Copies of this chain bind each other. A is one copy, B any other.
Amino acid sequence: MSESSLSSRKSPKSRPRAKGSSSRRSGDKRERILTAAVRVFAKNGFYATRVSEVAKAAGVADGTIYLYFRSKEEILVSLFEDRVEKLLSFMNERLPAHPTAPEKLRAVIEMQLGLLEGERDLAEVITVILRQSSKLMKEYAAPRFREYLDAIGRIVALGQHDGSFRTDVSPGIVARALFGALDGVALTWALGRADGGGLSRAAVQVADVFLLGLSPPAKAPVAK
């Protein structure tokens, strides 16, 4: 039964020597698999995607995947960790640069949508696919989301405290609504060519509506 493997070597394929860098475990294999996974997951969804499809798209053998990931699901987790997490921390770094709450909020909006602009597949993975693994969603992503929502909520609370936002709404609800609004815009944009504007145009409009919607009653001059 093992003899059959003799004939297997069908494609010599000229080993992708590539990057003259490290010759051993080519460090870009993992990255290649992740990039391919984003593409394929976005196209077919997580469950409908065969590991072998990811392998083919990445130009590696099925087995190679398991040298870098323990399971199919771990590919999804890694995608989340490798990309989203990075973006969240990036956001945390940039925020302090914006002095006022309205500016911070606008920055968050622009970042969240800006990140996805030009990364349609990644946008789809994050907005849709991630929700397909309920285990992932509940055990891993949920806490992260909460963290992110809390950060937005804190900005809202800050604005309420210094008088730039109305105080009759719950920061938590506003945070959820804002996140949902951005998620929704990104979702429809990712799924089918939304409207001409692109995400950055949408970002400006969402920001405009929310900031006006959050402006304090009567006297407050923030209106803008």
Considering the chains assembled together, what is the distance between the CA atoms of A181 and B149 in angstroms?
13
**Interface residue tally for chain A (C-beta within 8 Å):** 54
Query: Binding site of A, secondary structure by majority: helix, strand, loop or mixed?
Result: helix
Q: Please tell me if the beta carbons of A48 and B183 are within 8 angstroms of each other in the complex.
A: no
Interface presence of A195 (CB below 8 A): yes
Count of identical protomers in the assembly = 2
What B residues does A194 contact at CB under 8 A?
A: 172-173, 176
Asked if A202 is at the interface of the complex by the 8 Å CB criterion, the answer is yes
26 sample A-B contacts, Cβ–Cβ < 8 Å, listed by A number: A45-B137, A128-B131, A131-B131, A138-B191, A142-B191, A149-B188, A166-B212, A170-B195, A172-B195, A173-B197, A173-B201, A176-B185, A176-B194, A177-B181, A177-B182, A177-B185, A177-B202, A178-B181, A180-B181, A180-B183, A180-B187, A183-B184, A209-B213, A212-B213, A212-B215, A217-B224
